[in-house]
Amino acid sequence: MIIDPLATREIGTTGLRVSQLGLGGAPLGDFSSRLVEEEALATVEAACQIGLKLFDTSPLYGHGLSEHRFGHVLRSKERNSFVLSTKVGRWLRPRPPGEIDRGWFVGGLNFEPVVDYSYDATMRSLEQSFQRLGLNTIDILHIHDVDVWTHGPESYERHFRVAVDGAYRALEELRRAGVIRAIGLGVNEIEPCLRFARDCDIDCFLLAGRYTLLEHAALDELLPLCERRNISILLGGPYNSGILATGAVAGATYNYKSAPPEIMERVSGIEAVCRRHRVPIAAAALQFPLGHPCVASMIPGAISAEQVERNAGLMRTEVPPDLWAELKREGLMPDAARVPA
């Protein structure tokens, strides 16, 4: 089976169609290293030249830097040639460099993210994004990081209530007015997706790392719910922050930390199956989630044109059906998992 990274799938019932491979913007905010500006811009340009049609960014990524870089390239393109998504839930205020907690980012701009899921803050965040991008339309707006992983249990509950009453209400008005085409939720956990799906009219979830070659819990409730409700999944972090790209090597990362022994052991088992079928584990990781009809696009990040081209090549790598069958026989993939066919 060979997957075409440029083939498109619809986001929910919105009419928006995105390529099966997109470009994630967190690394272009100087996530793990400071990027040379020309190389960062060349990364976005390479995605455009290949023909990718989904570009995802956020005010958080480099505290505005990722949006600037995306906009610098994308505003020179035909607007109907790409789908752009960004996020709300934080607005940015200028601060002296020494007073900024940069979190996961080693570089970025001198702005401090202010977490705020209220109606007014959502509108403020969107206006700031328009300015940074230099574009007057945004296709998908995700409510960002309303999860325990980001905020802790108590703050999560408070932020969830504010987001439903504030951010979601704002996005619903914007969608109704035609300012945006789709409402999404960008999180690192399954449970918030289930709650938002029950309480709100959501078009898509940007789910980071929770339905991958390594993790399958979304099969239990989330994917059946998405199928019933026509909600699409955009898969961020398809390599689980690294280990499904590198394999179980020394220093491999999982969820942005050193992979624990049980994860290393499981990935070693997956690698062994992939080797027997002469398929890079990264190719299997990029392709597997697309076996489910609710998964519209895979959006790995990249920091160079070469990485963008490599991801496209991995998606085109032929993966024999016997590989998926063997993973199931070995207990490394649930029997219920749908695979590309």
Separation of alpha carbons 142 and 31, rounded Å:
20
- Let me know if 201 is a catalytic residue: no
Out of 56, 139, 147, 203, which one is annotated catalytic?
56
Out of 30, 53, 61, 147, which one is annotated catalytic?
61
Q: Which among 23, 100, 39 has a CA at the least distance from the CA of 64?
A: 100
Query: What is the secondary structure of 227-269 as a DSSP string?
Result: HHHT-EEEEE-TTGGGHHHH-S-TT-EETTEEPPHHHHHHHHH
- Let me know if 87 is a catalytic residue: yes
Separation of alpha carbons 206 and 185, rounded Å:
6
Q: Which among 170, 227, 235 has a CA at the least distance from the CA of 205?
A: 235
| Secondary structure (3-state) at 21 | strand
| Sequence-distant (≥ 6) Cβ neighbours of residue 10 within 8 angstroms | 16, 17, 232, 296
Q: Are 56 and 22 in contact (CB under 8 A)?
A: yes
Q: Which among 280, 269, 276 has a CA at the least distance from the CA of 245?
A: 280
Q: Are 323 and 274 in contact (CB under 8 A)?
A: yes
Separation of alpha carbons 243 and 263, rounded Å:
9
Distances (CA, A) of 100 to 93, 108, 128, 231, 318: 10, 10, 19, 37, 46
- Let me know if 147 is a catalytic residue: no
Q: Which among 79, 97, 101, 92 has a CA at the least distance from the CA of 126?
A: 92
| Secondary structure (3-state) at 151 | helix
What residues are labeled active site? Answer: 56, 61, 87
